[in-house]
Amino acid sequence: MKSWFLLLRYLPLLALLSGCASTPSRPTAELAALFDDSAFPAPTNPVDASTLFALSAPMRAHLDSSAFKTKLRDKGAARGLVAALYSKSDLQLDYDASVTRTAAHTYAARSGNCLSLVIMTAAFARALGMEVRFASVASEETWNRSGSLYLVSSHVNIALAPRPSGPFSVSTDAEPLVIDFLASKEAARLPSTELAEEDIVALYMNNRAVEELMAGRAADAYWWARAAILKRPSSLEAYNTLAVTYARSKRPLMAERVYRAALARYPDSLVVMQNLAQELDGNGKHEEAQALLRRIERLYPAPPYHWFDRGMAAYKAGDMREAKALFAREVARAPYNDEFHFWLGVAYLGLGEVETAAKELALARDTSTRIDARERYAAKLGHLRASLAGPPQGR
């Protein structure tokens, strides 16, 4: 079965936008060669990000509430905003990486992935007139897998600062407040690159394309990926998603064309090289595919999931000690991947190390970014802990 690699931005993102510009309707000749509109029906719903940061009536009511204003006055605009939105006593937001929502939809659902949550925060920050700087952080990418799709998440953050003349400028900090899900000390040491407004909108559109593709709606994925490229023609994520959409829609030559365009812009991209090599092989260009695979091996001798796949082979062969060692190597370099923790726990269980297995299942639950997966891990962990406790004692 074929596997494709997709790039997402699910990790922290917050931006203050002055408005989302409309997507150009007429692409350049270079971009037009990458699109095949006639191959896909019209999208089910409009492909539009113009209301991405719009406040709903309930959001405006929250903004105008006395409790919200009190936090802003007590803590200053930036810290007060974060406290008002994310304290456990207020909105009680839940994290779910499966859906990227607009600000209004996130507020209504009280859940969303990182991108959704910070888009909602951006909507409030915009209403408060805050100044922001948003950036791509050079942290290690996070890899996850869903069926035949490998999902690669990278990291962005934002610095918030109230305007000096703003209504909530009491007790503000001298430096802008950096909002980041990494530990603050770690985030401060990492280099970052400033992002433009078009980057933010394109990232949202690409996430929507990936989610449509994962749901089996290739036509909708096509239109979202197309819009992301038009919004930001340098978006590696969008090129790759468009090519994967072609590949899964049985249009291999168009997929190859888009992968080549992406590789021309980003010649060392592991994701694009792996996808293109697979497509070249399927298109009968075996020698070129092998040459590309040899280049990948030189640049990336142990790519993501390398040790995990070897661990799964050992597990299926019944060699639990080897499986445990290989799963542990993958966990060591990707400690926030719930799948790796889960299978390491399974290997420990196979070796009779039940208490250590329970710890790994707990880590799988705690590192999962999907509500349904957290519930499954919690159920397995509960069953395992019940077995550890033994049968209830009779009186």
Name which residue leads in pLDDT, 169 or 274: 274
Is the pLDDT at 273 greater than 60? The verdict is yes
Give pLDDT, residue 8: 41
Give pLDDT, residue 21: 34
Is the pLDDT at 89 greater than 80? The verdict is no
Name which residue leads in pLDDT, 6 or 266: 266
Q: How confident is the model at residue 111 (pLDDT cuts 50, 70, 90)?
A: confident
What is the percent of the chain with per-residue pLDDT over 90, rounded to a whole number?
Answer: 43
Q: Is 243 exposed, middle or buried (0-12, 13-18, 19+ CB in 10 A)?
A: buried
Give pLDDT, residue 5: 52
Give pLDDT, residue 92: 67
47-51, 145-149, 211-215, 265-269: which range is least confident on average? 145-149
Give pLDDT, residue 302: 85
Q: How confident is the model at residue 285 (pLDDT cuts 50, 70, 90)?
A: very high
Helix (H, G, I), strand (E, B) or coil at 150: strand
Give pLDDT, residue 337: 84
Give pLDDT, residue 261: 96
Is the pLDDT at 140 greater than 90? The verdict is no
Q: How confident is the model at residue 10 (pLDDT cuts 50, 70, 90)?
A: very low
Name which residue leads in pLDDT, 379 or 191: 379
Give pLDDT, residue 255: 96
Q: What is the pLDDT of residues 339-358, one digit of tens each?
A: 899 999 999 999 999 999 99
Query: Is 201 within 8 Å of 23 (Cβ atoms)?
Result: no
Average pLDDT, the chain: 82
Is the pLDDT at 276 greater than 80? The verdict is yes
Q: How confident is the model at residue 42 (pLDDT cuts 50, 70, 90)?
A: very high
Give pLDDT, residue 294: 95
DSSP string, 236-251: HHHHHHHHHHHHHTT-
Counts of helices then strands in the chain (DSSP H, E): 18, 7
Is the pLDDT at 19 greater than 50? The verdict is no
Give pLDDT, residue 113: 76
Give pLDDT, residue 171: 40
Name which residue leads in pLDDT, 115 or 390: 115
Give pLDDT, residue 9: 40
71-85, 149-163, 305-319: which range is least confident on average? 149-163
Name which residue leads in pLDDT, 143 or 58: 58
Going by DSSP bridges, is the β-strand pair 149-161/4-8 parallel, antiparallel, or unpaired?
Answer: parallel
Spell out the residues 6+ positions from residue 88 whose beta carbon is closer than 8 angstroms to its own: none
Query: Is 325 within 8 Å of 347 (Cβ atoms)?
Result: no
Helices 252-265 and 270-282 cross at an angle (nearest 10°) of 150
Average pLDDT over residues 368-380: 81
Domains identified in the chain and CATH numbers = 4-17+52-195 (no CATH), 306-387 (1.25.40.10)
Is the pLDDT at 314 greater than 90? The verdict is yes
Name which residue leads in pLDDT, 80 or 261: 261
Residue 137 has phi, psi (to 5 degrees) of -100, 135
Cα separation, 130 vs 177, in Å, equals 11
